[in-house]
Amino acid sequence: MSTDVNVKMDAIPGLDPNAMPLQVKDLHVEFRTRNGIAHAVNGVSFDLQPGETRAILGESGCGKSVTAQAIMGILDTPPGFVTGGEILYRGVDLLKLPEAQRRKVRANKIAMIFQDALSALNPVFTVGFQLGELFRKHRGMSRKDAKARSIELLDLVKIPAARQRVNEYPHQFSGGMRQRVMIAMALALDPEVLIADEPTTALDVTVQAQIMALLAELQRERNMSLVLITHDMGVVADVADRISVMYAGRVIEEAPVNDIYASPAHPYTKGLLESIPRLDLKGQELSAIKGLPPVLTNIPRGCAFNPRCRYAQDVCRHDPPVPLYQVSSARTAACHFWKEVKGDE
Amino acid sequence: MSDYVLETRDLVKHFPLSQGIVFKKQVGAVRAVDGINLQLRRGETLGIVGESGCGKSTLARMLVGLETPTSGDLFVQGKNMAKMGGAERRRGRRNIQLVMQDPYTSLNPRMTVGDIVGEPFEVHTDVLPRDKRRARVQELLALVGLNPDHINRYPHQFSGGQRQRIGIARALALNPEIILCDEPVSALDVSIQAQVINLLEKLQDELGLSYIFIAHDLSVVRHIADRVAVMYLGKVVEIGTEDEIYENPTHPYTQALLSAVPVPDPRLRGLRDQIVLTGDVPSPANPPSGCRFRTRCWKAQDICAEKEPVLEPQAKSPHPSACHFAEVRDVVHAAE
Amino acid sequence: MSDLTSAGTAIGGAPVGGDGPAPETPETGGKDHNASLWADARRQLVRDPVFMLSFLYVLVVGSMAAFPSLWTSQDPRACSTDRSRIPPSGDHPFGFDILGCDYYSHAIYGARPSMIIAIMATGAMVLIGGGLGLLAGYYGGWVDTIISRVMDIFLSLPFLLGAIVFLTVIKRQNPYTIAMVLFLLTWPVIARIIRGSVISGKDLDYVQAARAVGAGNGRLMFRHILPNAIAPMLVYATIVLGAFVAAEATLTFLGVGLQPPAQSWGIMISVHQVYFLEDPWLLLFPCGLLVGTVLSFILMGDALRDALDPKFR
């Protein structure tokens, strides 16, 4: 796979091959709309080790996809603006790089796959053409070589009869196969970081199992880092190493996967885990988190979760839990009462 | 028959495939639903699970009268809806109402909540005199946990969970016996799903409703259903109580389906007995001979291609399972 | 993806109440949005200066057409050849035309035929074309096949050539025949728009929901499907009004439209085209009025489309 012409990255000053492949520091994104400023991301930080899987868990509107779009530089601007923070690739802040270099890093080193594979692929070109275009454009390959590489890639993502299917159009593929094509496109240029935004949400469970198994295998083979953005607690439990739980544009809890499921330290995480239907509670009411997520133009003062929180005290209504509380050496939580939450099992 | 509020007998829906623009000729059929026998008891919740293309949505559309069956019978409270004419069928329809999947598209954005929930009364004018309708709508809103004073608001002023409550209130308007829930929570966030499921269970207790609950989320179905039917390519392949299906599945497809569901417990990672199926679901226009699952099944033998297995209790399956080699395999607990 | 869109909706629609099992009082963020799409659109249009200016212009032209005596006390037919082509002055702001008639009052009275033709043709187009489009889209099958083929036939007639041939053949060139010709040659356009939005509309979830409740065809069409098809039709109809004003002038200029002694902007342009070099104002006034009217309708249509499209807010 790595017979590629190596891309010249040394032109970028400050690039440190030993630094982490991706590090996000205090990222802020806002959307300027006619109804006011929506604070979509309010100080998100996380880092990613080589080969690591980081899950970003949250419900719709929590800012998880916007974070990914900011990293990829595909934010709709306007109305979306990155208003602060750093996005570091191997120690270099992408936000401060000149446009051409930034694009080069993003094209070659960070790739993304989306939930809706059908709309992410161009319907009027064959799958082979779209894959081949990447090689022609970024690797300067000839048409023939590019096609050969496309077939190799389709084989790699286990699409049967790749040699024939390379000439088909996206609509001729089933949902699961389309997602495979998108993974092939994302892997084409050998990225170090893959961002997967709800990659299996639109798929059936048996297909989801296939795709997640494929992703895990490819990640292992290439020692690639994976950012998995999802709302599915089950998928996260299956694949993630570390988890960042997001709420109202902030990371409210960050921990290794086992710790979070064993003893959540934030009431929101705890509520999410409790609202999953469980065997032993059949016939009983599910425990639901009351109320609604906040509107991003009008996030509550203090802790954003306080109106829905059963632990909330006066301090939660006034002081945001910033900086994060260090729960243990490897985990943090944004809750004044994390001890009570964690202990109260 | 009187035990059942709803019963289907060999219900079939084929969509003809035709070629040509002027002189159309039928060249085949998509066998979306191919002979379904189901019974629903009073006060019971029957879960129907299956993946996209298995025919569960077409079945749902037939049950609520959005689609006419190609053949077979559909009894609602002992009356055969499939053999009824227009007016009588409209009447019969009152007994079975629908809650749809997407709360953002299933409410007319240009109608107020009062108009939406009250529409069934406008269609079935004999149910309630005009002057009592508004009060009834407000009662319904209160019943599903919405503020009755919001009757003049528009759908876009509500959140997803609240909209789904509006959809439920509309389904309740005609006092139906049966509510068909077609993926009622899959478009909602996890924390909101629990609220809506709790509401559905509360309504069932209070009003004595019978539910048909169609979903692809197996854990939600397990929580709410008394009995579960598993569908594959237009047929029910296994049916039983919630315990039988989840604890002792005997059909290979059910086993694969259950094993594919991710479990929200990282300690079980890598320990579960996960069956990863190969290939895609075959086209319903041209299903495999014999057993429809045989092309993806690890147990398949020659007999599977020759003889279609019948949905009935088998030697090693006390509950009905359409497999020649039905046998219990404990996929959910394998790791514990 | 899900994030962005839902952030968008959360911003757009003010949230009300909680999702808790207990009814809660609304905690509206700011002003109360107890409004429909149309009310929202109206509020946005009132604040749009381009729309308001265009609207004002159209109102002025409309009042010229309806009540010309409001705008001038002169009789456009009181002519005297010794005043031929006298340039504009205080009493006669547009001067006099070739026959020595007051040009300003001619321009005022000339608005009426243009507007009548445009309104009649557009009205017929919306009612008949829209109705046929609705039937074709809703019922599909052979109804759709027949209506669509007829539409194709009419659409295949070249507009200008068709109009010239029609008007030359029928020989009676009054506002009614011109409106009819314009309608005949353009109705399929609006029928197609309606047919398209009806086809995409009839499979919407809430239409299916109403059908599941037992709603009949009439209710489904007029209560659920048509209201969503009206917005694109309205936008198009507004733009078409402008186009028809221009079309009337074009046909008149070509000699197959209205004929003198009728009064219209097209006649003013056609009669005075040869004097452009010596007395350009004879052409500039009617052309200015015409272009202003057409432009106003088009700008109104654009603003309307933005206001009625929820994606733009």
Q: What is the pLDDT of residues A57-97, one digit of tens each?
A: 988 888 888 899 898 888 887 788 888 889 988 888 888 88
* Residue B27 token pair: 């060249």
Enter the pTM of the model. 0.80
User: What pLDDT band is residue B20 in, cutting at 50, 70 and 90?
Assistant: low
- Each residue's pLDDT tens digit, B50-64: 888 888 889 998 998
Across the strands, what pairs with C191?
none
Amino acid at B175: N
Do the domain assignments include residue C244?
A: yes
Q: With beta carbons under 8 A apart, name residues in chain B contacting A289.
A: 191, 194
CA dihedral B218, B222, B223, B227 (to 10 degrees): 140
Which member of B52, B197, B198 has the closest CB to residue A204? B52
* Residue C58 token pair: 């159209």
pLDDT at res. C37:
65
- Provide the percentage of residues in chain B whose pLDDT is more than 90: 31
Q: Is A237 on the interface with B (CB under 8 A)?
A: yes
What is the side-by-side order of every strand in the sheet holding B4-19?
B25-41, B4-19, B71-76, B79-80
* Residue A292 token pair: 């609604």
Quickly count: other Cβ atoms within 10 Å of residue C70's Cβ: 10
Q: Is A158 on the interface with B (CB under 8 A)?
A: no
Secondary structure of A114-142 in HEC code, one letter for each residue = CCCHHHHCCCCCCHHHHHHHHHHHHHCCC
- What span, in angstroms and rounded, lies between the C-alpha atoms of B100 and B97? 10
Report residue B269: phi and psi, to 5°.
-60, 130
CA dihedral A62, A66, A68, A74 (to 10 degrees): 170
Which has the minimum average pLDDT: A3-17, A295-309, C165-179, C281-295?
A: A3-17
- Each residue's pLDDT tens digit, C203-217: 888 998 898 888 888
pLDDT at res. C4:
38
CATH of the domain at C261: 1.10.3720.10
Strand B25-41 to strand B178-182: parallel, antiparallel, or no bridges (unpaired)? unpaired
Whether a cis peptide bond, with omega within 30° of 0, leads into C261 is yes
Task: Tell which wins on pLDDT, B1 or B146.
Answer: B146
Give SS3 for A76. Answer: coil
pLDDT at residue C14 is higher than 50: no
CATH entry, A22-240, from 3.40.50.2300, 3.40.50.300, 2.60.120.10, 3.20.20.80: 3.40.50.300
Q: With beta carbons under 8 A apart, name residues in chain B contacting A233.
A: 190, 264
Place of tokens 């243990």: A328
* Residue A282 token pair: 């059949």
- What span, in angstroms and rounded, lies between the C-alpha atoms of B157 and B145? 16
Dihedral sign for Cα atoms in the order A237, A239, A243, A247: negative
pLDDT at res. B251:
93
Domain span at C177: 111-300
| Region C39-49 average pLDDT | 83
Q: How many CA atoms lie within 13 A of B100 on its CB side?
A: 24
- Provide the percentage of residues in chain C whose pLDDT is more than 70: 87
- Each residue's pLDDT tens digit, A249-299: 899 999 999 889 888 989 999 988 888 877 666 667 777 788 888 888 888
Give B238's DSSP letter.
E
The residues, ordered by sequence, that sit 6+ positions from C280 with a Cβ below 8 Å of its Cβ are none
Quickly count: other Cβ atoms within 10 Å of residue B55's Cβ: 25
- What span, in angstroms and rounded, lies between the C-alpha atoms of B109 and B116? 10
Do the domain assignments include residue C48?
A: no
Place of tokens 């005949």: C184
Question: For chain C, how many structural domains are there in total?
Answer: 1
Q: C60 in the Ramachandran plot: left (φ > 0), alpha (ψ -120 to 50) or beta?
A: alpha
Q: Which residues of chain A carry a pLDDT beneath 50? A: 1-7, 345
pLDDT at res. A344:
54
Q: With beta carbons under 8 A apart, name residues in chain A contacting B190.
A: 59, 231, 233, 272, 275-276
Report residue A44: phi and psi, to 5°.
-95, 130
Q: With beta carbons under 8 A apart, name residues in chain A contacting B195.
A: 288
What is the side-by-side order of every strand in the sheet holding A36-48?
A36-48, A22-33, A80-89, A92-93
Burial of B192 (0-12, 13-18, 19+ CB in 10 A): buried
pLDDT at res. A279:
65
- What span, in angstroms and rounded, lies between the C-alpha atoms of B13 and A345? 51
- What span, in angstroms and rounded, lies between the C-alpha atoms of B243 and A216? 32
pLDDT at residue C77 is higher than 90: no
Do the domain assignments include residue C143?
A: yes
Are C111 and C65 in contact, with CB atoms under 8 Å apart?
A: yes
pLDDT at res. C33:
41
pLDDT at res. C125:
92
- The 8 Å CB, 24+ separation contacts for C69-78 are C71/C108, C72/C102, C72/C104, C72/C105, C72/C108, C74/C102, C74/C104, C74/C105, C75/C102, C75/C105, C76/C101, C76/C102, C76/C105, C76/C106, C76/C108, C76/C109, C76/C263, C77/C101, C77/C261, C78/C102
Touching subunits for chain C (3+ Cβ pairs under 8 A): A, B
Give SS3 for C138. Answer: helix
Dihedral sign for Cα atoms in the order A202, A205, A206, A212: positive
Do the domain assignments include residue C221?
A: yes
CA nearest C136: which of C199, C227, C65, C184? C199
- What span, in angstroms and rounded, lies between the C-alpha atoms of A270 and A233? 12
* Residue B239 token pair: 């049916």
Whether a cis peptide bond, with omega within 30° of 0, leads into A264 is no
Strand A242-247 to strand A53-57: parallel, antiparallel, or no bridges (unpaired)? parallel
Place of tokens 């020692």: A223
* Residue A107 token pair: 């094209």
- What span, in angstroms and rounded, lies between the C-alpha atoms of B196 and B191? 10
Q: Is B222 on the interface with A (CB under 8 A)?
A: yes
CA nearest C103: which of C214, C307, C245, C265? C265
pLDDT at res. B334:
46
Task: Tell which wins on pLDDT, C261 or A113.
Answer: A113
User: What pLDDT band is residue B200 in, cutting at 50, 70 and 90?
Assistant: very high
- What span, in angstroms and rounded, lies between the C-alpha atoms of A135 and A296? 41
> In terms of CA atoms, which chain B residue is nearest residue C204?
B105
Q: With beta carbons under 8 A apart, name residues in chain C contacting B212.
A: none
- What span, in angstroms and rounded, lies between the C-alpha atoms of B248 and B242? 10
Are B321 and B314 in contact, with CB atoms under 8 Å apart?
A: yes
Which of A64, A289, A292 to mutate: most C Cβ within 10 Å? A292
Do the domain assignments include residue C66?
A: no
Which has the minimum average pLDDT: A167-181, B154-168, C11-25, C108-122?
A: C11-25
Report residue C33: phi and psi, to 5°.
-95, 60
- What span, in angstroms and rounded, lies between the C-alpha atoms of C27 and C209? 30
Dihedral sign for Cα atoms in the order B230, B233, B236, B238: negative
pLDDT at residue B47 is higher than 90: yes
pLDDT at res. C27:
34
pLDDT at residue B1 is higher than 60: no
User: What pLDDT band is residue C36 in, cutting at 50, 70 and 90?
Assistant: low
Q: How many CA atoms lie within 13 A of C34 on its CB side?
A: 8
Are B328 and B249 in contact, with CB atoms under 8 Å apart?
A: yes
Across the strands, what pairs with B38?
B8
Q: With beta carbons under 8 A apart, name residues in chain C contacting A296.
A: 7, 10-11
Whether residues B147 and C21 touch (CB distance < 8 A) is answered with no
Give SS3 for B241. Answer: strand
| Domain residue extents for chain A | 22-240, 247-275+288-343
Amino acid at B131: D
Are A74 and A113 in contact, with CB atoms under 8 Å apart?
A: no
- What span, in angstroms and rounded, lies between the C-alpha atoms of A216 and A224? 10
pLDDT at residue C11 is higher than 80: no
Question: Looking at chain B, how many residues does it have?
Answer: 336
Are A78 and A32 in contact, with CB atoms under 8 Å apart?
A: yes
pLDDT at residue C114 is higher than 90: no
Between positions 44 and 73 of A, the ones with CB within 8 A of B are 59-60
Task: Tell which wins on pLDDT, A26 or B1.
Answer: A26
Are B299 and B252 in contact, with CB atoms under 8 Å apart?
A: yes
The residues, ordered by sequence, that sit 6+ positions from B246 with a Cβ below 8 Å of its Cβ are B218, B222, B228, B258, B332
| Region C136-157 average pLDDT | 90
Do the domain assignments include residue C187?
A: yes
| Region C300-306 average pLDDT | 87
- What span, in angstroms and rounded, lies between the C-alpha atoms of C12 and B71? 47
Measure in Å the smallest separation between the Cα of C40 and chain A Cα atoms: 13
pLDDT at res. C299:
92
Q: Is B201 on the interface with A (CB under 8 A)?
A: yes
- H/E run at residue B142: helix B130-143
* Residue C251 token pair: 């046909």
Cα separation of the two ends of chain A: 49
To the nearest whole number, what is the mean pLDDT of chain B? Answer: 86
Q: How many A-B residue pairs are in contact by the CB < 8 A criterion?
A: 111
- Provide the percentage of residues in chain B whose pLDDT is more than 70: 96
Task: Tell which wins on pLDDT, A58 or C2.
Answer: A58
